[in-house]
């Protein structure tokens, strides 16, 4: 069974983005049909503005204030976690000028749990990342996505193109611009939010499907990423 992760990357600006995070977490509750979140100690999390600020300020002091806060939330208490658990990895509040960025990641796991793509679009609309994508683990490994990204200092352009991949205008410019992106040989490419949304195939990208791999290679070649 394929395993999926939805990742959003935001440029650091020195604040925790709490109003946006509350909107994001409310959408996560709806998408995965959960009422509350839990921390790594299986304790229920106060996801109000006051509660999140307290959590992030404590985390930032533990690491280093300029590097922001890092906190993992779970839809099921970790001590009881199972195949239905979704982990929300939050790195927020990074100061401008730091090498690291803010990122908000949903580790979904089993492809059967992936919600309607409309939720991903809503997540993007709320957090307004410079890049967001639904990644499949085996495909990330096959294309060596991590090392490719490390070769792009400052996240100046995408490492690869995933099955569902959003780029803001600046990132789109790094591979030819929005107009050029709209002509990519993918199943669907359209203007969205502050940039462009690329969908290689209808629905989930399957790394065991030769046709999906062919389309991905063709699109990445089009953007000189292959």
Q: 89 or 110: whose pLDDT is higher? A: 89
Q: Which of these, 102, 101, 189, 198, lies nearest to 152 by C-alpha position?
A: 101
Kindly give, in sequence order, each residue whose CB lies less than 8 Å from that of residue 7, ignoring residues fewer than 6 positions away: 103, 104, 105, 106, 132, 133, 135
- Residue 154's pLDDT band (cuts 50, 70, 90): confident
Q: Residue 110 pLDDT more than 90? A: no
**pLDDT of amino acid 82:** 85
Residue 59 has pLDDT above 90, yes or no: yes
pLDDT band at 172 (very low <50, low <70, confident <90, very high): very high
For residue 99, name the pLDDT band (cuts at 50, 70, 90).
Answer: confident
pLDDT of 14: 92
Percent of the chain, pLDDT > 70? 100
Average pLDDT, the chain: 95
pTM for this prediction: 0.94
* Six-digit token string for 224: 């000189």
Using a pLDDT cut of 90, give the percent of the chain over it. Answer: 88
Q: Is the pLDDT of residue 17 over 80?
A: yes
pLDDT at residue number 97:
84
User: What pLDDT score was predicted for residue 16?
Assistant: 97
Q: Is 10 left (phi over 0), alpha (psi -120 to 50) or beta?
A: beta
């Amino acid at each position: 069974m394929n395993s999926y992760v939805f990742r959003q990357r935001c440029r650091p600006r020195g604040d925790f983005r709490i109003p946006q995070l509350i909107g994001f977490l409310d959408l996560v509750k709806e998408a995965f049909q959960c009422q509350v979140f839990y921390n790594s100690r299986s304790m229920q999390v106060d996801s109000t503005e006051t509660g999140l600020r307290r959590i992030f300020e404590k985390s930032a002091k533990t690491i280093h204030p300029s590097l922001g806060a890092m906190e993992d939330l779970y839809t099921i208490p970790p001590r009881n976690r199972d195949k239905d658990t979704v982990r929300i990895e939050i790195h927020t509040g990074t100061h401008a000028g730091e090498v690291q960025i803010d990122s908000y990641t949903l580790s979904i796991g089993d492809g059967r749990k992936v919600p309607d793509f409309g939720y991903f679009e809503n997540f993007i609309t709320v957090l307004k990342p410079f890049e967001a994508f639904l990644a499949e683990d085996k495909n990330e490994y096959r294309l060596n996505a991590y090392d490719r990204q490390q070769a792009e200092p400052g996240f100046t352009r995408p490492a690869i193109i995933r099955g569902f991949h959003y780029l803001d205008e600046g990132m789109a410019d790094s591979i030819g611009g929005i107009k050029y992106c709209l002509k990519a040989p993918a199943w669907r490419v359209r203007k969205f939010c502050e940039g462009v949304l690329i969908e290689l195939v209808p629905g989930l990208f399957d790394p065991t499907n030769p046709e999906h791999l062919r389309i991905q290679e063709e699109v990445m070649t089009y953007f000189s990423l292959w």
